[in-house]
Amino acid sequence: MKRSNRYVLRLSELSESDRERAGGKALALGKLARAGLPCPSGFCITTKAYDDYLDLTGLRQRLMLLLERKPFNEMRWEELWDLGLRVRSMFLGTPLPDELAMPCIKSLESSFASMSASVRSSAPVEDSASASFAGLHDSFLNIQGTTEIIDHVRLVWASLWSDRALLYRQELHLDPAFSAMAVIVQEFVAGEISGVAFSRSPGQEGLAVIEAVWGLNQGLVDGDVEPDRVLLDRKTGKVVERHEAVRENACRPRTGGVTIVPLSLEEREKTPLPDSVAKKVLSMLVQAEGLFGAPQDLEWTIRGDAIHALQARPITTSTSPDQGGERAWYLSLHRSLSSLKELRQVIEAELLPEMTGDASRAEALDLLALDDGALAKSIRERQHLLDHWEGRYREACIPMAHGIRLFGQVYNDRLRPEDPFAFLEMLAGDEGIVAVNRNDALLELAAMLRDEPHLAAKVREGTEPRPGSRFAHSLANFHERFGDFSWVMGEKKDGLGGMMGLLLEMAVSPSDRAHSRQSPDDASFLDSFSADEQTFARELLEIARVSYRLRDNDNMALGKLKKVLFDACEEASQRLEKRESSELAHAVSAIQERVSTSQKPTVGKNKRNPPSGVREQARQLVGQPAGPGLARGTARVITQASELASFRSGEILVCDAVDPNMTFIVPLASGIVERRGGMLIHGAIIAREYGLSCVTGVPGATDLIRTGDSLTVDGFLGIVTVSKGSGQRKRRQRTGKSHQPG
């Protein structure tokens, strides 16, 4: 038979010499097919097509520019998310050139003009015995039409650069710049029962493991559908152990893809993995192991009476050097819509009320009435509470943020906007963001001072507001709604100096909660879905809005717990000034470090030390664009809470990370520069709410920029230019507010 063109090879034609251009998965399918095992027929789009796509479109250069803006190992999870979204958007926005698309379509159209296809990854390094990219690269099922297939080939290529795949490549010391991806396009089998199987159970060499679900495999592989599971004796085929899942859902075909649907009552009660199915799978598993000469991990599906092998790969002996560590946690952040809905319920109905309740109970305790022993005990309890809730925050609140990302990915897939973060404009402007509501209330108080110069003068002199006056009433109302936040500025309880200074500064120039950029309306998003997908689209939008709101609100709740700890420590410190108490001294010293690090932004880690006499000065720093706009102004570098009170209207806030508890100074700022990176960090979210230029992810920002430096913050390109490095200017400077487009 004549070999296909250089971009497309038939799976059945592949031989070992094609490994580099076809990848291990395609090669294994070809071998299974040639050995007579039932596999869906199909083609492999070679790595040559991928390489030519990158070179013909110039995408290779653009990817490198994006990827190398910051050392990969210095990126936090938010930055990795951003990177993945930007890369995917680049692939989505870059169609295949005709000289590449036409030969591919020509090869595929005879088979797939009227037959649905599965489009799967087959990267050369994937599925070796020492590395497993299982679940890290994308697969697409039930794709109809050659144009759609080619479109999805691009998405599979994009997944080579997904955040999760990049993270794994880094661990394996593989340079993504020199990685390539082949793609399998094969007949889609609408299986009724599907699963995965391992020819050897770990630690039990005589047993095989089979897992099965109703419907398609995708639900099992993605973790959305829990499988039934059996262990079988490899020789006799006898089931020696059986675990039945709580069967609720299945992944089924829908027009142009697959979807998760509830099971019928009959299927809920019946296992998809009776002994007869297990034996059939075991038979195929043993054949595959014999064929490849090594234990196999097999994906299979059954339609009617026929079983099909979907893929086979060696059982991985070493999956990751960091299986249980940060990468595992990072991978756990990826949540499905149903998982996010459950998480929302937990956070809104349980976690936030409990967290607030704990803080309120602690606040209600009269610290003055406690003896030293009881106060020391209370400090320890408050620390324990904070530890507990910070743990819950990491388990539940950070994964909830995935709702924003999931929405962004679907939005970009559907609407393909030029700006991969255009979707954020649909989420900004939420009326329920506590930090913004607090700032609005502060701005109202500031407006009173602006409108009443006499009152402002009194406040400036340090005179307490007259009891019963409108201002005093509004101030009390503010404290009731949002609590006392003087502690954030390192002030004693109920200290008004810092807050009054802030209000006077806010009164100088009115600040608008801008959010004036053109927002895409809900309809443009919802209209991109068919009638039967409307529920999914609306639920996804709702979850995204909740995720966005909670991103800030959960931190505000955590802030209340920090405050009650701070209050108890402050009371202890006051007593220690007057008398000795080993109990109190011990309790306070144990957490002093913790309080200072939790409320103060940390100073950058990468302190640079040029040789003596050589002065280092940043001229231009590269970060990530996180809030579009161009701002020019004087830098105010905030490295500790006590510096917040010195912030002046129109200055550019430069800090390690904008803590949600300190976002009250944002209305005063004309721009934001942060070391911590990402579009979803609090600084970026709040900057968008005020329409401020924002650049995040600037390594060493607080070391390389000095208070008083003249800055240009380019929130379009993510660049901060230090145009005048005078540094540490004491004189107060006025600067123009940021310029916003349109």
Q: Which residues bind another protein (CB under 8 A)?
A: 60-61, 64-65, 67-74, 177, 606, 608-611, 613-622, 704, 719, 725
DSSP structure class, residue 530: -
Looking at the DSSP bridge assignments, the partners of residue 696 are 624
Instruction: Identify which of residues 135 and 700 has a Cβ nearer to another protein in the complex.
Output: 700
Q: Taking the C-alpha atoms of 695, 697, 698 and 703 in order, what is their torsion angle to the nearest 10 degrees?
A: 120
Helices 534-578/352-364 angle, 10° precision: 20
Q: Least CB distance from residue 400 to another protein, whole Å?
A: 29
Instruction: Identify which of residues 613 and 742 has a Cβ nearer to another protein in the complex.
Output: 613
Q: Least CB distance from residue 674 to another protein, whole Å?
A: 16
| Strand locations in 286-328 (E) | 296-303, 306-314
Q: Least CB distance from residue 705 to another protein, whole Å?
A: 12
Instruction: Identify which of residues 518 and 609 has a Cβ nearer to another protein in the complex.
Output: 609
Instruction: Identify which of residues 58 and 497 has a Cβ nearer to another protein in the complex.
Output: 58
Contacts of residue 196, defined as CB under 8 A and 6 or more positions apart, other chains included, come to 210, 211, 217, 220, 221, 227, 297, 298, 299, 300
Instruction: Identify which of residues 417 and 725 has a Cβ nearer to another protein in the complex.
Output: 725
Q: Least CB distance from residue 349 to another protein, whole Å?
A: 41
Q: Least CB distance from residue 420 to another protein, whole Å?
A: 19
Q: Residue 123 and residue 169: Cα distance in Å, rounded? A: 12
Contact 568, 382 (CB under 8 A): yes
Instruction: Identify which of residues 470 and 619 has a Cβ nearer to another protein in the complex.
Output: 619
Q: Residue 659 and residue 490: Cα distance in Å, rounded? A: 14
Contact 519, 446 (CB under 8 A): no
Looking at the DSSP bridge assignments, the partners of residue 185 are 43, 119
Contact 118, 146 (CB under 8 A): no
Strands 117-122 and 140-143: antiparallel
DSSP structure class, residue 204: B
Q: Least CB distance from residue 157 to another protein, whole Å?
A: 17
Instruction: Identify which of residues 588 and 618 has a Cβ nearer to another protein in the complex.
Output: 618
Q: In what order do the strands lie in the sheet with 693-696?
A: 624-627, 693-696, 671-674, 652-655, 630-638, 710-714, 719-724
Instruction: Identify which of residues 27 and 654 has a Cβ nearer to another protein in the complex.
Output: 654
The one-letter amino acid code at 509 reads: S
| Nearest to 713, CA basis, from 734, 737, 732, 742 | 737
Instruction: Identify which of residues 155 and 701 has a Cβ nearer to another protein in the complex.
Output: 701
Q: Least CB distance from residue 712 to another protein, whole Å?
A: 13
Q: Least CB distance from residue 725 to another protein, whole Å?
A: 8
Distance from the Cα of residue 159 to its chain's centroid:
16
Contact 195, 213 (CB under 8 A): yes
Q: Least CB distance from residue 626 to another protein, whole Å?
A: 16
Instruction: Identify which of residues 72 and 529 has a Cβ nearer to another protein in the complex.
Output: 72
Q: Residue 298 and residue 300: Cα distance in Å, rounded? A: 6
Q: Residue 660 and residue 682: Cα distance in Å, rounded? A: 6
Q: Least CB distance from residue 181 to another protein, whole Å?
A: 18
Give me 217's structure tokens: 């495999």
| Nearest to 558, CA basis, from 684, 397, 390, 435 | 390
Instruction: Identify which of residues 284 and 618 has a Cβ nearer to another protein in the complex.
Output: 618
Q: Least CB distance from residue 55 to another protein, whole Å?
A: 9
